[in-house]
Every structure is written in structure tokens, then in C-alpha cells.
Chains A and B, each alone.
Chain A
Amino acid sequence: MTDLRDDDALARRFAALRGADARRTPSFERTLADATRPRRAIRRPLVFALAGTAAAAIVAAFWLVQPAAPPVRGPSDPVATALPQEMPTDFLLETASLDATRDAPALNAPVNDEVPFL
């Protein structure tokens, strides 16, 4: 429930405050003149700050969206070692009998036996 006596006391305090403010209120004409006077453009530090922030945002966005470079495969890389490699000493295997050995059947190849089964 509202206590009217308390409300009156508060109202008196606010009235005193309003009276004090009224003495410091700028005149209406002055306020209106200041309002309609052309204002200075945005302050220069703010422009610089905005430009700097925008540039930083662009750089950050570029850095985030660029594709990652493919990984460099070294000799210890399992994918790299699985690929056929040519060694510098491979020429030593090129011997005169290489053609003969190349046609030799494999040990586990089936033998075409000409002898009919008895």
C-alpha cells in the first residue's frame, strides 16, 4: 500500500531537485541554435579506428578462407615409399643373360606334361 505521507516527502525532494536543475537549464533558443548549427563531421580518430578495424577484419577473413597447401611428402612418408623408385645402381642389373632369365618360368607355374597318362 502506498504511504501518501512518504510519497509527499519524496515529491518535495524531487521538486527541490527540479528547481535546482531549472536554474541550470540552457535556454530554449540556445539549444535550438546549437541543434541547427552544422556539425563537424565524424572525428578523425574514429575514421582511422574504423578503417583499421575493417582492414584487420579483411586480412583475418582472407587468412581463414584460403585453402591449405598440400603436405610435402618426404622419404619416410609411407605413401612416398610405396611408389616405384629407380635407384642409381639399377644399371648393374642389366646383364647379357638378363633376356634368358627373363623368359624362365616361375617355380610355381604349372608344367605342360606331354606324356599321356598311363
Chain B
Amino acid sequence: MSRSELERELRTHHDAAYGWALSCCRFDSERAKDVLQETYLRVLDGRARYGGASAFRTWLFGVVRNVARALHRRAALHALLTLRFAEAPAEIAAGDPGDDRALRAALLTISTRQREVLMLVFYNGLSIQEAAQALNISLGSARQHYERGKAALRRRLEDAGVAP
């Protein structure tokens, strides 16, 4: 794909990619912006190459997730080397209505894999199979995380007094 084609694709999926980056960064908006910038840089300079094996959006989500993990590891190493052990808590958007805040808080209490699958399916509208491709896991595993994640999320929302 040429650079202009890549830019067009990135623009098309920009909102979804930002939402997914937020999820990968535990809803920390500043870190999500960093992740998205690094992702775009890798896509445009060819370090991340689209092979056409899956839909562009599915592939892009996989790149976003890999970049988020790499930046998280780098930040953890930096904190360790500079002896800063207390990491700033993730931002749960202050302007959120109560229900949205409760949903984000509940999502942060379930396992990472369950959160990822639920975000990809419910938030980004991917099928479970596409979610499995983006996360590089088997379809059966993705289904399991989907079902267990939903059950866990409902329990958390009920505990928080919010009807799912």
C-alpha cells in the first residue's frame, strides 16, 4: 500500500483505533495518544506492514495492542531505573456520566484478556473471530473470554448498583 492509501485507511479507523488504544492503556488518555502516534509512525514508515491476511482494522488493532504493550514495558523499565515505583493511577475520565464511569471501573476489575475481547466486540463492533485475530488467540479461547468476561462484567456492574 502506498503512503496515501495507508493514511486514508488510518483516517477511516482513527476513532475506533483511539478507543481501542484507550482500552489497551487502561483508559489513560495521554498514554493512549502516545500509543496511537507510535502506531501511525510504525505503519507509515513500514515497521508495521499490512500483509492483507485480515481486514485492515483487525490488523491495525493488533499493531495498537503491540505498541501499547511495548510502551508499557518501556515505562515500567523507566520507572524501575529511576526508582519511581508509584505509578500515577489511570485516568477515568472526570467528565464521564456516572454510568460510563461505572462501566470503565468495572472493566478495569476483570482480566485483561476478557476486557480486550469485550472492548473489541461491544465497543468496536468486531466479531469474536476478528477479535481473536486481533489478539492473536484461537477462536475458542476468544469465545471463552467473551462469555466469562460478560458474566464477570455483569456481576461487577450489579455490585456497583448499576443494572447491566
Contact = CB atoms under 8 A, between A and B. Distances in A.
- Interface on chain A toward B: helix, strand, loop, or mixed SS? helix
A13 B19 contact: no
Interface size class of B (residues with CB under 8 A): 35 or more
Contacts of B40: 31-32, 35
Contacts of A10: 118, 122, 150, 153-154, 164
Contact of A50 (B29, B81, B150, B164): B81
A30 B145 CA distance: 35
Interface residues of A, number: 29
B104 A24 contact: no
Given A9-B164, A28-B11, A45-B82, A35 B41 contact: yes
Interface in A1-26: 2, 6-7, 9-11, 13-14, 16-18, 20-22, 24-26
B82 A46 contact: yes
B15 A20 contact: no
Nearest to A42: B78
A101 interface: no
A25 B93 CA distance: 12
B11 A49 contact: no
- Interface on chain B toward A: helix, strand, loop, or mixed SS? helix
B154 A21 contact: no
A32 B15 CA distance: 13
Nearest to A9: B164
B15 to A, nearest CB: 5
A8 to B, nearest CB: 10
Given A28-B10, A46-B81, A49-B81, A21 B19 contact: yes
A53 interface: yes
Contact of A21 (B22, B44, B153): B22
Given A10-B122, A46-B82, A53-B81, A20 B19 contact: no
9 contacts: A2-B147, A2-B150, A11-B122, A14-B103, A17-B103, A20-B93, A20-B95, A24-B93, A34-B37
Interface of B: 7, 10-11, 14-15, 18-19, 22, 29, 33, 36-38, 40-41, 44, 78, 81-82, 93, 95-97, 99-100, 103-104, 118-119, 122-123, 147, 150, 153-154, 163-164
Interface of A: 2, 6-7, 9-11, 13-14, 16-18, 20-22, 24-26, 28, 31-32, 34-36, 43, 45-46, 49-50, 53
